[in-house]
Amino acid sequence: MSEIVDASANASYEVLPACSVHAGKWYALQTVPRHEKTVGIQLQMDGLDVFIPTFRKESKWSDRRKVLDLPIFPGYAFLRSSDISLDRKHIYRNRSVVRLLSSSAGPAEIPEAEIAAVRRVTQSGTAVEPVPFLTVGQRVRIKNGALQGLEGSLLKVGRENCLVISVDLIQRSISIRIQGYEIEPL
């Protein structure tokens, strides 16, 4: 029999069949927008292991406030499967699943360590919220503070993130530490 772990208890929504004992590999499913929990419940009913990490966010309306449990990765659910080729029939029978993320070699596996890290953070009670995926070398813009609107390339120097601003014509650059600033990709 499967059991749903209440999202309000540990800030993550997990659907884990009681019979699963860390078997199989993790895969990502893209879902119809705002259907992550529906996918989790339906796949659970088919006996599959699903993990949908969530975070708490307070929403304010004109007449009230409410704390919502929202998916950290909107539009995605994680599935553990020991035989993904057999589980595909359950996956694609679900109308809220858009696709199983794949590469030319087949379904793309997610390392266990990455799922374990996300699960550990969501279960720790630490405040968590989604942020844009940034890579070193990517063009970014500072969103707040005295340097708001400044654009440059993201660079990692030691353990710190830096913003590199370049003057292309003379092929020279300067770098500033951006700890404490919110940044967004361009």
The tens digit of pLDDT for each residue in 82-127 reads 999 999 999 999 999 999 999 999 999 999 999 999 999 888 887 8
Residues 20 and 87 in one domain: yes
Residue appearing with tokens 């700890």: 179
Tell me, yes or no, whether 134 lies in a domain: no
For residues 54 and 33, give the distance between their C-alpha atoms in angstroms, rounded to a whole number: 15
- The 3-state DSSP class for residue 149 equals coil
For residues 107 and 27, is the Cβ–Cβ distance under 8 A? yes
Residues 116 and 153 in one domain: no
Say which CATH number the domain at 79 has. Answer: 3.30.70.940
| Residue numbers of the domain that contains 6 | 2-124
- pLDDT attached to residue 158: 78
Q: Tokens for 21?
A: 């004992």
What pLDDT, in 10s, does the model give residues 125-140? 878 878 778 888 899 9
Q: CA neighbours within 13 Å on the CB side: how many for 140?
A: 23
Radius of gyration (Cα) for the chain, nearest Å? 20
